[in-house]
Amino acid sequence: MENLTDVAKEIEKCTLCDLCIKRNNAVPGEGNERARIVIIGEAPGKNEDIQGRPFIGMSGKFLSKSLESLGINRSMIFITNAVKCRPPNNRKPKKEEIITCRPYLIRQLSIIQPNLILALGTSAASSLGIEFKHLSEIKSRFIDITLDGRQFKCLVTFHPSFPMRFPSARRAFLDDLSMAFNSYKNLST
Ligand code: URA
């Protein structure tokens, strides 16, 4: 049976879309293979591309601080992105890029089999096949999804860059994070 390292090795040499051309490093994701919660972001930014690690730039620091304020350490979870390579100038990933990268995400989720997927923002929600016009239609609700015949529970919230820029959204973001983590107190370590 494959493990997360097998998937990461494939991601690191992936050439399935043009995002591979300018990348310094693909960013497969990192964290606990036995995590009960997987967090999915959008795509690597500049710092992530340089270091090959997810959420280590400004919005990553904001996310880590928000999690720590709730007593959650990043080592307890697995964090990845909808798209594993940095889009030029930090543009939003295109629909086709999300679709091309999706099998990697599904393989990671099938290995970990988390109790809950926390999707940060619209790209993450799209990568899970959730349909919506506005984030407000799907935000803060537990949604059942099926990926490759497997059932998962998912909660969608803002991408951390939004509450980072707009302090008025911070309470709502923290409420969603605590809703996610309160629903699964027995995180593996
Ligand atoms: N934003 C994301 O969505 N993912 C990262 O890894 C960094 C910033």
- Give the ligand 1 atom nearest the CA of 47: 7
Question: Which ligand 1 atom sits nearest the alpha carbon of residue 81?
Answer: 4
Question: C-alpha 168: how far from its chain's center?
Answer: 23
Looking at residue 185, its pLDDT comes to 65
Report the interhelical angle of 4-12 vs 95-112 (nearest 10°). Answer: 160
Strand-pair partners of 142: 155
Say yes or no: CB of residue 54 within 6 Å of ligand 1: yes
Q: What is the pLDDT of residues 100-158, one digit of tens each?
A: 999 999 999 999 999 999 999 999 999 999 999 999 999 999 999 999 999 999 999 99
CA 5 to chain centre: 17
Please identify which residue in the block is written with the tokens 């959204």.
169
Report pLDDT digits (tens) over 29-83: 999 999 999 999 999 999 999 999 999 999 999 999 999 999 999 999 999 999 9
Judge if the beta carbon of residue 41 lies within 6 A of ligand 1: yes
What is 4-186's CATH number, 3.40.470.10, 2.40.50.180, 1.10.3720.10, 3.40.640.10? Answer: 3.40.470.10
Cβ partners under 8 Å of residue 53, min gap 6: 27, 30
Pocket residue to mutate for ligand 1, from 23, 50, 51, 55, most atoms within 8 A of Cβ: 55
List the chain domain ranges. Answer: 4-186
pLDDT for the residue numbered 61: 98
Could you tell me the pLDDT band of residue 186, with boundaries at 50, 70 and 90? low
